[in-house]
Amino acid sequence: MSRVSRQTTATYTADASVLSIVEELTTALRYAGLPDPRRVSTDILAGLLDVPRSWPTMNRETSVDGQILKAAREAARRLAAGAPFAYAIGSAQFRYLNLIVDSRVLIPRPETEVLVGEVLERMDARFKSGEEWGTALDIGTGSGAIALSLASEGHFEKVIATDVSLDALDVARSNATRSAAALRCDVEFRRGSFLAPVRDVKATVLVSNPPYIAFSELDTLPRSVRDWEPPLALISGHDGMAATAKIVAEGARILARGGILALEVAETRVSLVADMVMRQADYTDVGVRLDLAGRERFVFASRT
């Protein structure tokens, strides 16, 4: 799975063995004071090559494209400067997809993979085999992780993803192109705040991982989040509830009867969100689901 160098002389960097790259990165990361520098070095190379984490260790003598060496050096430099790993290598795994990520979008979390899986299970149980699932909405798509996973794993006629950020939509569209071979349906991207761009849609599922951090909580976040990830995708008013409340209120007009509302929320406010949904007569079957760590994280409901 090695990559052969095709650079012009103007950008040429000599090919190098996997072992030599790992040794060079390990030295640099150890000097920068990062813990477990050899493991991180192999993870960098595996991430850049999109191969299993064990691959560099098992293929030490394999020659790697010189451009990968340049990218690995840059990733090590970013890590030493405090960047999250995904930003350092420029990509992140989400379910079955490898996505482009940078500081324009949030890094997709494993917890959100659970949200997508739950939506797919509910839709699969609702429809007969071979029957199309209608239109899915992903509100605040960021990197496009949710929308593209629904489009690649589900049986929707269409997936529509919205975001207020043009930068985020640029990343999401790039990921759609990157994942094109895996997509089972069209994915449409629309710019706008919350559900404003999709008022003409009747959806069978509305899923969102909206901003849910309160202003007062910003300083409590890890520096890798607070100093690197986009505030627009993190902060939601003084209580962290503004975005969620708007989606719940407007979602009832967008969802078709029997449609599914699926939200990821702060673990400290799950009960507040569930109560908010239950107070609206347009929703029924309100329930809470746990994340991978056993914390209450997701709120589901059905449109009456």
State whether 184 and 260 are in the same domain: yes
Q: Is the pLDDT of residue 281 over 80?
A: yes
State whether 119 and 25 are in the same domain: no
State whether 134 and 196 are in the same domain: yes
Report if residue 3 sits inside a domain: no
Domain that holds residue 27: 16-81
pLDDT at 9: 39
State whether 136 and 277 are in the same domain: yes
pLDDT at 12: 53
The pLDDT mean for the chain works out to 94
Q: Is the pLDDT of residue 10 over 90?
A: no
Q: Is the pLDDT of residue 13 over 70?
A: no
Q: By CB neighbour count within 10 A (0-12 exposed, 13-18 middle, 19+ buried), where does 82 fall?
A: middle
State whether 123 and 230 are in the same domain: yes
Q: Is the pLDDT of residue 6 over 50?
A: no
User: pTM for this structure?
Assistant: 0.92
pLDDT tens-digit profile of 191-244?
A: 999 999 999 999 999 999 999 999 999 889 998 899 999 999 999 989 999 999
How many structural domains comprise the chain?
Answer: 2
- Give the CATH number for residue 140: 3.40.50.150
State whether 36 and 142 are in the same domain: no
